[in-house]
């Protein structure tokens, strides 16, 4: 029963929501709304578990020399944002301590980390874009053409508009659609297997 | 080891240094780059331009600080355009770090264009589970967002009166740096059929051009270049134009490095072949 009941719930829910998609009536939309609320409620139940796991792991790391500093930074950041974020809704408005911390610490940190990508891309391009073979040469030329198209360089970037439009809308689209169709069919097959109870790994092991 | 052979194995730190120095140049001496709007950006501009005053535009700002450099200029340009034309704007964010940034942009632009929160525009806030939120908004905005970002019930906002779901807006523009674009395509445009355009980071652009041809998207604003193009169309140069100069310099350095790398590769190929070295 420990396995049969969850399989039954998943199967019935899956079939109902599959049929719901094709029945555009008020009660069907209400059903969709209710089931979406259920997903959110179930997801929220996982949140305390995640917080507990994160805090516990980092409290343990406080005992380990070498990891102590990073764990302390994480726990301090977590507690500070929690304290200033919880009290009242005005904490979400500009000028509040929470928003000041968000604007002056989190935004610069995240933006800086993503900006580092420019340096890695430059280094990787220097080593990877070499015309070592016919395929590598095609890749190199394509990258060059597309890169010029994305640069705001006036007539230079508009000169190869037609070629880049063809690259994007023919070979690029063909490859992307093939990948997309593959993912879509794979997803549909997996969904059918889960609904029919053939795929059970999502339940974990006893 | 000759100079060209040394070039083949140049320390990556020199490349980092070159890029670092290059991006400082526009900061010291600013300059404008020539921008000519591409058809995909012009379509987004035309769409917003053709919305009548008082009609609704829905803008989803689904990005976090990692991509604000590329997507903030787009968001600002689109919101400025809509505010200039006195269109009503409904804004949400489906990115967990998005609310703070969105609030900052919308409140600043609202002050600049004398727009009143709740009357001329609404910021509904953030909800987790993007696909579910999009599906739910297709039924009723009040389902996932009973109150706006500031805690005001949606029914109390004049801007939200008489507007229930996506069928009441002229179109949706999603500004995103992640896979929420896919969700807007499948769960939004696919399910509810509203006109959809996206603003995305430069690296994502190639993945989404296929949806232009299929008609699922009516326009794309790709990266900083797209933002600069939109700014040129609304004739209000901003961050997009400024950052385009940085992008030109950095990309030019990368292109020069690639050329240099290939010159060194071909010049030293003979020597490597003789010594039986790896290519």
Query: Residues B205-250: pLDDT tens digits?
Result: 888 988 988 899 999 999 999 999 999 999 999 999 999 888 889 8
Number of independent structural domains in chain A:
2
Query: Residues B3-32: pLDDT tens digits?
Result: 777 877 888 899 999 999 998 988 888 888
Q: Do B34 and A115 touch (CB under 8 A)?
A: no
Q: Do A152 and B257 touch (CB under 8 A)?
A: no
Determine which of B24, B36, B102, B228 to mutate to test the interface with A (most A C-beta atoms within 10 Å): B36
Same domain, B131 and B205: yes
Closest CA to A24 of B139, B47, B50, B84: B139
pLDDT score, position B114: 94
Residue A29 has pLDDT above 90, yes or no: no
Number of independent structural domains in chain B:
2
For chain A, the three-class secondary structure string (H helix, E strand, C coil) is CCCHHHHHHHHHHHHHHHHHHCCCCHHHHHHHHHHHHHHHHHHHHHHHHHHHHHHHHHHHHCCCCCCHHHHHHHHHHHHHHHHHHCCCHHHHCCCCHHHHHHHHHHHHHHHHHHHCHHHHHHHHHHHHCCCCCHHHHHHHHHHHHHHHHHCCCCHHHHHCHHHHHHHHHCHHHHHHHHHHHHHHHHHHHHHHHHHCCCCCHHHCCC
pLDDT score, position A98: 85
Q: Do B68 and A127 touch (CB under 8 A)?
A: no
For residue B233, the chain A residues in CB contact (below 8 A) are none
pLDDT score, position B36: 84
Residue A161: inside a domain, yes or no?
A: yes
Burial bucket for residue B65 (CB in 10 Å: 0-12, 13-18, 19+): buried
State how far the alpha carbon of A160 is from the alpha carbons of A141, A156, B40, B73, in Å: 12, 7, 15, 26
User: Shortest Cα distance from B261 to chain A (angstroms)?
Assistant: 6
Work out how many CB contacts closer than 8 A connect A with B: 159
Same domain, B187 and B259: no
Average pLDDT over residues B185-211: 91
pLDDT score, position B153: 94
B126 to chain A: closest CA residue: A92
Residue A100: inside a domain, yes or no?
A: no
Burial bucket for residue B118 (CB in 10 Å: 0-12, 13-18, 19+): middle
Residue A21: inside a domain, yes or no?
A: yes
Same domain, B161 and B270: no
The confidence band for A91, taking pLDDT boundaries of 50, 70 and 90, is low
Q: What residue numbers bound the domain in which B252 lies? A: 3-30+245-275
Q: Do B139 and A33 touch (CB under 8 A)?
A: yes
For residue A151, the chain B residues in CB contact (below 8 A) are 225, 247-248, 251-252
Residue A188: inside a domain, yes or no?
A: no
Same domain, B186 and B170: yes
Residue A155 has pLDDT above 80, yes or no: no
Query: Residues A159-169: pLDDT tens digits?
Result: 777 888 888 88
Same domain, B216 and B259: no
pLDDT score, position B181: 94
Assess contact for B246 and B24: CB atoms under 8 A.
no
Q: Do A169 and B213 touch (CB under 8 A)?
A: yes
- With a CB cutoff of 8 Å and minimum separation 6, the contacts of A154 are B33, B34, B35, B36
Average pLDDT over residues B32-58: 93
Q: What residue numbers bound the domain in which A152 lies? A: 117-169
Same domain, B50 and B138: yes
Domain limit, last residue, from A169, A184, A200 = A169
Same domain, B92 and B165: yes
Same domain, B231 and B253: no
- With a CB cutoff of 8 Å and minimum separation 6, the contacts of B233 are B37, B41, B42, B45
B152 to chain A: closest CA residue: A89
The confidence band for A205, taking pLDDT boundaries of 50, 70 and 90, is low
Same domain, B110 and B15: no
Q: Do B225 and A131 touch (CB under 8 A)?
A: no
User: Shortest Cα distance from B241 to chain A (angstroms)?
Assistant: 9
Q: Which of A145-149, A158-162, A196-200 has the highest mean pLDDT?
A: A196-200
For residue A33, the chain B residues in CB contact (below 8 A) are 136, 139-140, 143
User: Shortest Cα distance from A192 to chain B (angstroms)?
Assistant: 19
Query: Residues B103-125: pLDDT tens digits?
Result: 889 999 999 999 999 999 999 99
Residue A28: inside a domain, yes or no?
A: yes
Residue A4: inside a domain, yes or no?
A: yes
Q: Do B225 and A177 touch (CB under 8 A)?
A: no
Q: Do B65 and A111 touch (CB under 8 A)?
A: yes
Does ipTM surpass 0.90 in this model?
A: no
User: Shortest Cα distance from A56 to chain B (angstroms)?
Assistant: 23
Q: Do B261 and A121 touch (CB under 8 A)?
A: no
Residue A52: inside a domain, yes or no?
A: yes
User: Shortest Cα distance from B269 to chain A (angstroms)?
Assistant: 10
User: Shortest Cα distance from B106 to chain A (angstroms)?
Assistant: 11
B222 to chain A: closest CA residue: A150
pLDDT score, position B170: 96
Q: Do B19 and A152 touch (CB under 8 A)?
A: no
Residue A87 has pLDDT above 80, yes or no: no
pTM for this entry: 0.85
For residue B255, the chain A residues in CB contact (below 8 A) are 144, 147
Determine which of B38, B40, B152 to mutate to test the interface with A (most A C-beta atoms within 10 Å): B38
For residue B64, the chain A residues in CB contact (below 8 A) are 110
For residue B260, the chain A residues in CB contact (below 8 A) are 126
State how far the alpha carbon of B146 is from the alpha carbons of A22, B113, B117, B137, B153, in Å: 27, 27, 17, 11, 6
Average pLDDT over residues B127-131: 88
Residue A35: inside a domain, yes or no?
A: yes
> Which CATH number is B153's domain given?
3.40.50
What does the angle CA B174 – CA B176 – CA B177 come to, to the nearest 5 degrees? 165
Same domain, B80 and B216: yes
B12 to chain A: closest CA residue: A123
B71 to chain A: closest CA residue: A111
């Amino acid at each position: 029963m420990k396995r049969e009941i969850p399989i039954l719930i998943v199967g019935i829910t899956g079939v109902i929501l599959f049929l719901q998609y094709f029945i555009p009536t008020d009660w069907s939309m209400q059903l969709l709304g209710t089931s979406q609320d259920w997903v959110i409620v179930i997801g929220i139940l996982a949140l305390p578990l995640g917080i507990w796991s994160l805090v516990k792991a980092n409290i343990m790391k406080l005992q380990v020399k070498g990891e102590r500093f990073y764990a302390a930074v994480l726990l301090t950041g977590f507690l500070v944002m929690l304290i200033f974020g919880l009290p009242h809704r005005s904490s979400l408005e500009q000028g509040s301590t929470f928003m000041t911390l968000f604007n002056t610490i989190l935004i610069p940190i995240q933006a800086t980390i993503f900006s580092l990508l420019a340096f890695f891309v430059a280094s990787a391009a220097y080593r990877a874009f070499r015309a070592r073979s016919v395929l590598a040469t095609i890749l190199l030329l394509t990258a060059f053409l597309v890169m010029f198209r994305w640069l705001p360089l006036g007539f230079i970037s508009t000169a190869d508009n037609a070629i880049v439009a063809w690259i994007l809308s023919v070979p690029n689209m063909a490859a992307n659609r093939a990948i997309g169709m593959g993912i879509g069919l794979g997803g549909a097959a997996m969904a059918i297997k889960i609904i029919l109870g053939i795929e059970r790994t999502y339940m974990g092991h006893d | 080891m000759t100079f060209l052979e040394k070039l083949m194995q140049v320390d990556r730190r020199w490349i980092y240094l070159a890029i670092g120095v290059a991006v400082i140049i526009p900061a010291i001496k600013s300059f404008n780059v020539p921008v000519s709007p591409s058809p995909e950006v012009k379509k987004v501009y035309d769409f917003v331009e053709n919305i009548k005053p008082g009609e609704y535009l829905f803008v989803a700002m689904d990005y976090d600080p990692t991509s604000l450099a590329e997507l903030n200029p787009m968001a600002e340009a689109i919101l400025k355009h809509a505010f200039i034309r006195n269109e009503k704007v409904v804004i949400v964010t489906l990115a967990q770090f998005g609310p703070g940034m969105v609030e900052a942009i919308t409140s600043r632009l609202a002050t600049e264009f004398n727009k009143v929160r709740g009357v001329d525009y609404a910021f509904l806030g953030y909800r987790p589970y993007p696909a579910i939120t999009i599906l739910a908004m297709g039924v009723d905005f009040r389902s996932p967002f009973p109150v706006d970002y500031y805690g005001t019930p949606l029914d109390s906002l004049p801007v939200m009166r008489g507007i229930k779901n996506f069928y009441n807006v002229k179109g949706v523009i999603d500004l995103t740096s992640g896979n929420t674009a896919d969700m807007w395509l499948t769960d939004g445009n696919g399910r509810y059929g509203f006109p959809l355009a996206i603003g995305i980071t430069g690296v994502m652009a190639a993945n989404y051009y296929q949806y232009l041809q299929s008609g699922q998207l009516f326009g794309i604003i790709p990266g900083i270049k797209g933002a600069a193009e939109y700014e040129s169309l609304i004739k209000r140069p901003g961050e997009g134009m400024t950052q385009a100069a940085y992008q030109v310099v950095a990309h030019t350095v990368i292109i020069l490095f690639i050329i240099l790398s290939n010159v060194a590769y071909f010049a030293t190929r003979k020597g490597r072949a003789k010594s039986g070295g790896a290519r």
